[in-house]
Amino acid sequence: MSAVADEIRIDYKVPRRRHPVASFILQQPLGTTGLLIIVLMALAAIFAPLVAPYDPLTVDYAGLLAAPSAEHPLGTDNFGRDVLSRIIYGSQTALAVGFLSSLIGSTLGAIIGVTSAYFGGMTDMVIQRLMDIILAFPIIVLALAVVSVLGKNVVFGIDWNLIIAIGLPMIPKVARVVRSSALSIREMPYIDAARTAGFSHSRIIFRHIVPNVVAPYLIMLTAFVGQAILLEASLSFLGLGVTEPTAAWGLMLSGSAIDFYQQAPWMIIFPGVAISLAVFAFNLFGDSLRDWLDPRIKL
């Protein structure tokens, strides 16, 4: 009997699960490309003093508006400052403002969305009407209004009022998406069982609802970083964001760059490419992260 059992035994091996990073790289090549660009930007921002060939604030009146060359690969501006060095240091401003504003806006939006969905009723109605009011304003108009009212509040080299102005328009969008996910979770039988068992609201929210809305939260957080970078560049271009002599991509496009665009087009071209590449990378990564985390798309 044992001999027969040995003959018909099936040698079943459980397939090894890939590491999440390896799985993402294999399944999302475009997202991996975006992630690679983001990593390179982050490394350039972290190691800017080592990577940048010149001090971004050093003025060289002997080399004003110098064309791209071996000495200055991306040329110089109207103050003789190296454009490449200012773009490298500008990545610090772009990533810091973009990530912090997106983190604050997305986190507040997620908290509001979960609260609105879980408690429902009058709480949900009041919160959603407030979100409608914020959504009624165009993003750039709302950011301009907040920056104009709050002014500047620079702490540790970061203008926190600028971050608030950029993060505020993101709150209702994240709140809507997270609320939608939380509403479906709230109707699950195990949520009713938890309520029947006498669990507190905080336990149900943090133990059962929050873990199930992490995926849309991360997707929105990543996607909004690119939008925040673009909005920061727009505000700096209009003179309401970062101010001179700080190296910032939007600031490099404004002011004197417009006056010298015919004589020195590199003053506009290269900062514009940096902004476009950053936004493109975050959009690629955000879209790929959504496809990878959403089980309905994997089916």
Q: What is the pLDDT of residues 99-152, one digit of tens each?
A: 999 999 999 999 999 999 988 889 999 999 999 998 888 888 888 888 888 877
| Cross-strand pairs, 155 | 158
What would the pLDDT profile of 72-109 be if each residue is shown by its tens digit? 899 888 888 999 999 999 999 899 999 999 999 999 99
Predicted local distance difference test score (pLDDT) of residue 18? 67
- CA distances to 62, 88, 194, 236 from 71, rounded to whole Å, are 13, 16, 68, 28
Helix 20-27 and helix 29-46, axial crossing angle in degrees, nearest 10: 120
Return the CATH superfamily for domain 27-56+77-298: MetI-like (1.10.3720.10)
Residues of the chain under the 50 pLDDT cut? 1, 3-5, 7-8, 10, 12, 14, 297, 299
pLDDT of residue 199: 82
In the chain, the amino acid numbered 36 is L
Residue 155's SS3 state is: strand
**Amino acid identity, residue 151?**
G
Output the CA angle 29-34-40, nearest 5 degrees: 125
Asked if 54 and 39 touch (Cβ cutoff 8 Å), the reply is no
pTM of the model: 0.83
Cα separation of 272 and 264, whole Å? 14
Query: Which of 270, 260, 290 lies closest to 78 in space, CA to CA?
Result: 260
CA dist 67 and 75 (Å) reads 5
Element (H, E) at 168: none
3-class secondary-structure state, position 108: helix
- Would you state the pLDDT for residue 212? 86
Identify the residue whose tokens are 């475009």.
Answer: 30
Question: How much of the chain, in percent, has pLDDT values that exceed 70?
Answer: 89
- Return the structure tokens found at 97: 């403002």
Question: Domain locations in the chain?
Answer: 27-56+77-298
Mind giving me the DSSP string for 87-99? HHHHHHHHHHHHH
pLDDT, residue 1, reads: 46
Q: What is the number of other CB atoms lying within 10 angstroms of the CB of residue 219?
A: 22
How far the first Cα of the chain sits from its last, in Å, is 43
